[in-house]
Copies of this chain bind each other. A is one copy, B any other.
Amino acid sequence: MEKCKADNLLKITNTVKTEARETILHAVLDSAKPMSANELHLMVKDRGIDLATVYRAMKLFTEKGLVRPVHADSGLTFYEKSCEHNPPHAHFICENCGGIECLKPYGFDESAFFIKLGQQKDVTSVELILKGRCSSCAS
């Protein structure tokens, strides 16, 4: 648990620690659902952090394996924490409001499925996205 603190993650991934990166990573770690660059920016701009810095941090964190990008239909990219407590999984994106949710395994062994696909030669990542209408928009 302690290992998943922003401070520590930057250290163990050999990433130069700056105030902006620590703040941004903290925002990602705290969020229960994937966040867009814009949403993250809203959470940190009161500390003088620019949107460009958020994008740069997402790019860096993705390379370091600290976050995973999730690409929505809309062209928007969401980012979620990537760690032992948050392994790859499917996502649900609402066609109506654009909202994103993480899906829990359902029926079959999803985790094994992701691992199996990922083990194919030349495959570096797998994205499984379901679309439809979220519970809020359905009513």
Contacts and interface: CB of A to CB of B under 8 A. Distances in A.
A1 interface: no
A135 B121 CA distance: 10
Each complex incorporates copies of this chain amounting to 2
A116 interface: yes
Nearest to A122: B132
Interface of A: 69, 71-73, 75, 77, 92, 95, 106-108, 113, 116-117, 120, 122-135, 138
Contacts of A92: 123
Contact of A127 (B120, B129, B134): B129
B127 A122 contact: no
A131 B138 contact: no
B117 A122 contact: no
Given A69-B73, A73-B71, A126 B130 contact: yes
Contacts of A133: 122, 124
